[in-house]
Amino acid sequence: MIREIDEQLEALVHNLLQEPELEMFDFKINRHKKNISIRILVDRPCGGITIEQCADLNKLVQETFDASGLLKVPYSLEISSPGADYRLKTRKDFLRVLHRDIRFILIPSDVLKGEYIGILKHVNDDHVLIESKGKEIRIPFDKIQKAQEYF
């Protein structure tokens, strides 16, 4: 029953994001006794959501949740964008940070060294292409241990 409610809540948020062309990067519900906290990470497909847009979306999501009647107890809601410390994992994550500096920690191989910092130039289905120290480097997704924006 709880899992079904969580899925319905997530679907409500997903539907709300269609018109403003936002994407959900994470949806988490934590329950502790009678306390519920909901954390949603959203951004534009190529990044650039503002604090005001997060605040407006927070109000809209809260109104939608309240109108749905799915949550019978008080809850806290946090909507934010994936920050610089957000780990890039999926193709969608990498597309959001295209043309930005990214730090990659790789699974060691004979072809690639363990760490690269470079500008993300292209995202393909199975790899990314970065420019690092004047060279283009192709990094397969399955070799990425960790990737984050680099400041």
On whether the pTM is more than 0.95, the answer is: no
Domains and CATH numbers, the chain: 2-80 (3.30.300.70), 91-149 (2.30.30.100)
pLDDT at residue 48, as a whole number? 80
b/e 104-140 (16+ beta carbons within 10 angstroms → b)? bebeeeeebeeebebebeebeeebbebebeeeebebe
pLDDT at residue 70, as a whole number? 93
Q: What is the mean pLDDT of residues 41-51?
A: 86
pLDDT tens per residue, range 101-117: 999 999 988 888 899 99
